[in-house]
Amino acid sequence: MKEDYFLPVFYVSGGKFCSGEGEDEDEDGLSPALPFIGVACSTRHQRVVSLNLTGKIPESLGDLPQLRYLVLHHNQLSGKIPASLGRCITLEKLDLAHNKLEGNLPHGWASFPNLQFYFNISSNFLQGSLLEVSKMVMVQAIDVSHNNFSGEILAPLSNCIELQYLNLSWNSFDGAIPASLKKLKNLQDIDLSNNNLSGAIPMDLQEMIMLQHINLSSNKLIGEVPKGGAFGVVDESAFLGNVGLCGSWIKLPSCSSSKHKQGSISKKVILPIVIGTTIFIMSFILVIFYMRHKKENTLELNIGPRIISFDELVDATGGFDQTNLLGVGSFGSVYRGILNDGTNIAVKVLNLEDENVLQSFNRECNVLKRVRHRNVIKIISTCSTSDFKALILPFMSNGSLERLLYPEGGDECRLKLNDRLRIAKEIAQGMEYLHHHCFVQVIHCDLKPNNVLLGDDVTPCIADFGIAKIIFGNSIDSLTFTSSLKGSIGYIAPEYGMGGNISTKGDVYSYGILLLELLTRRRPTDDIFVEGITLSKWASMNFPSRLTEVVDKNLLINVKENDIPLVLECLAQSIQVGLICTRELPQQCPNMMEVVKRLEKISSSFLGTPRDFQFPIDISPFLESTSGPKNTTGDSSSTS
C-alpha cells in the first residue's frame, strides 16, 4: 500500500505524480500522472516527497528556487546527485537516504544557506570528501553513514555551529579525530564507528557539555579514553574494535606507560594534557560545589539560552506562594511566575521524593531540547541542584484543552466547530513532526487533553513528555509496556495492554480518542462506558445513523438551516478520522502524516467553503457512503 504525504503545494507519490496550484486534480488531490523524470514545476512548489521511485534524480528539480523540503528516501534512485540542486537556495531539509546514488558530491551544490533541519544521504554508494557538507553552517543533523566516503574528517565541520547529530559511521574515513569538533557546542550525538580513524581521542571533546551519545567503535584509535563529559556515561561497546585504546574503568585494558604507547605522542605532549585536565576537573568540582551551596542553577542539560537561578524563581513565584499554584500532580507542582524582564512563565517543580521523577525529568528535558515546532511546548530553561529540580516553561494563558472542554462549575464548552477542528489539526501536525520530521523520533506515550496546553491565541501545544520515548534508529525495538503499563486510562492503545511494542501507532490511537472526545465532549472514562464499551466503540455503534446523538450538542446550537448539511457532513468526516485512528489492530491505523492530510482536506473542504455554496438538505446518501466500522478497509489511504 502506498503511503501518502500531504504537502500543501508540491506532492509526489509512487514516482509518477506532480501536483500544484492551477493543475487539474483528481478526487484524491493528485494531478494526472506526470513522469518524475520530466518534473519541472513552478516556483510556488515548496516540497517534494516520494516513494518507490526509480531512475535518476532529474536536473529539473533545480528549477524550483523556492523548494524547501526534498524527501526521496527509501527509493531505487541511481546515478549521481545533480549539481542543479545547488540552485535550490531555500532548501531546509534534504533526505536522499537508502537509494543507489553514486559518485562524488557535486562541487558547490551543498552550500544551502537555509538548510536547518537535517541532511541525510546515508545508505548509498557515494564517495569522496565532506568538503561540501562542511559549508552547511545552520544544519542540525548530518547523516552520511553507510557510504564510501574517505579522507580525513574535515576540521571545517566545526563551522556547522547548530549541529546536534552527526553520523559518519560505516565509511572509510582515516586520520585523526579533529579536536576542533569541540566547537560544536550543541552536538548531542556523534557516531564515527566503523572507519579507519587513528591517533588518540582528543581530550578536548570531554568539554562538550551537551554531548550525550558517542560511538567510536571499530577504528584504529590508540591511547587512553577520556573520562569526563559524555565519556563518563557510555560503556565499553562505544570503543570496542580499537586495539590500542585503554581504560580499565570502562572494562578496556588498563593504561600503563610501559605497555601502551601512543604513537607519535611524546611525554612533552602528554604531560601538559594531564596537568590541564587535572586543573579543569578540580576547577569544575569547585564551581559545582559553589553553585550548589548558593542554590544557583547548574543547568545540567543546558537547554535554554538563558540561565535562571533558584533565587530568581523564588522571586518570580512569590516564594512559590499557593496563590500562584496552577496545579498539582504525581510529578510535583506547577506555579505561575513573572521574571524580572516581564516574561510570564510556568515553573514545573519536581517532587524528588518519588524516585521515578528524576528519570522523568531527564527524559522530558531530552525531548524538549530536541524539538522545534509551534505545536510542541517550548522550554525556556531548567533549574537543577542537588535538592531542587524544575522546568521553566512559557505560561499558557488558556490552560489545558481539558479545562476548555470541561469548564469549572459545569459551564458549557464554548469552543465552536471551527475552533475544535483547528485545534485537532494543529495537535496532529505537532504529532506528525514528532513522529516523522524531528531528526530523532519521539513517541509521546501519554497524549490526552490535559497534556495539550493553549496560549493566548488558543494555539495548542503538546506538553508533558515525562514518559516519552526517544528513538535513535531501531534502539527502541526491544522496549514494551509489559513490565509497566504507563499512560492514562482510556487513552492507552489496546496493544500496550497485551504487552505490544511501543510504536507511533500507540500515539495515533491516543490521538483518535482525543479527537473523538473533542467532538463528542465525552471522556473515555465516562460512566456510560461499561462492559467493554469504549468511547471508540460507542461512537462506531452510533455512526453514522445517530450522528446527532454522538456529537456535542453545543456544536449544533444556533446553526442556520442552510448550514446544517455542511456542519453534519463536516462532523461525520471528522468522526470517521477518529474511528480510523482507534482501530484495534495497529497495522490498520494510519500514521500521523495521513491523519494531517485528512484533517486538512476536511478543513479546506468545509471551513473554506464559500457560504453561498449549497449542500443538499438530505445528507443520508453521504452518511451511508461514509465508512463506519464495517467499511473502513475500503479507504486506501488509511492503512500503512
Domain segments of the chain as ranges: 36-261, 310-394, 406-638
Q: Which three cell numbers stand for residue 97?
A: 537516504
Give the global pTM. Answer: 0.51
Contact status, residue 56 vs residue 37, Cβ threshold 8 Å: yes
Q: Residue 48: its pLDDT value, please?
A: 45
Strand boundaries in 186-249, DSSP class E = 189-191, 196-200, 213-215, 220-224, 244-246
d(CA 371, CA 379): 10
CATH of 310-394, one of 1.25.40.10, 3.30.200.20, 3.30.930.10, 3.40.50.300: 3.30.200.20
Catalytic (active-site) positions: 446
- The residue type found at 565 is P
Please tell me whether residue 286 adopts helix, strand or coil conformation. Answer: helix
Instruction: State the cell numbers at 222.
Output: 590508540
Q: Please name every residue paired with 347 in a beta bridge, in sequence order, or none if there are none.
A: 335, 392
What's the pLDDT score for residue 240?
A: 83
The rounded distance, in Å, linking the Cα atoms of 604 and 597 is 11
Rounded distance between C-alpha atoms, residue 6 and residue 19, angstroms? 11
Q: What is the DSSP string of 594-616?
A: HHHHHHHHHIIIIITS-TTPPPP
Beta bridge partner(s), residue 127: 104, 148
Which residues are part of a known binding site for ATP?
A: 348
- Topology of the domain comprising 36-261: 3.80.10
Block mean pLDDT (10 aa), the chain, length 640:
32 33 34 31 40 82 83 88 84 88 81 76 88 78 89 77 88 89 86 90 85 87 85 79 80 62 49 72 67 42 61 92 86 89 89 74 72 86 84 90 88 87 95 86 92 90 86 48 61 85 92 96 91 91 90 89 87 94 91 93 69 32 34 32
d(CA 640, CA 587): 7
Residues flagged as binding site: 348
The one-character DSSP state at 638 is G
- The span from the CA of 244 to the CA of 250, in Å, is 14
Are 120 and 93 spatial neighbours (Cβ–Cβ below 8 Å)?
Answer: no
* 102, 127 Cβ separation under 8 angstroms: yes
Assigned C-alpha cell, 528: 456510560
Question: Under 8 Å CB-to-CB from 504, ≥6 apart: which residues?
Answer: 435, 441, 443, 591, 592
User: Residues near 346 by Cβ (< 8 Å), separated by ≥ 6?
Assistant: 326, 334, 335, 336, 337, 392, 393, 394, 395, 396
The position carrying cell 541532511 is 119
**Closest CA relative to residue 121, chosen from 85, 86, 71:** 71
Is 1.10.510.10 the CATH classification of the domain at 406-638?
Answer: yes
- Please answer whether residues 626 and 576 qualify as being in contact, where contact means their C-beta atoms are separated by less than 8 angstroms: yes
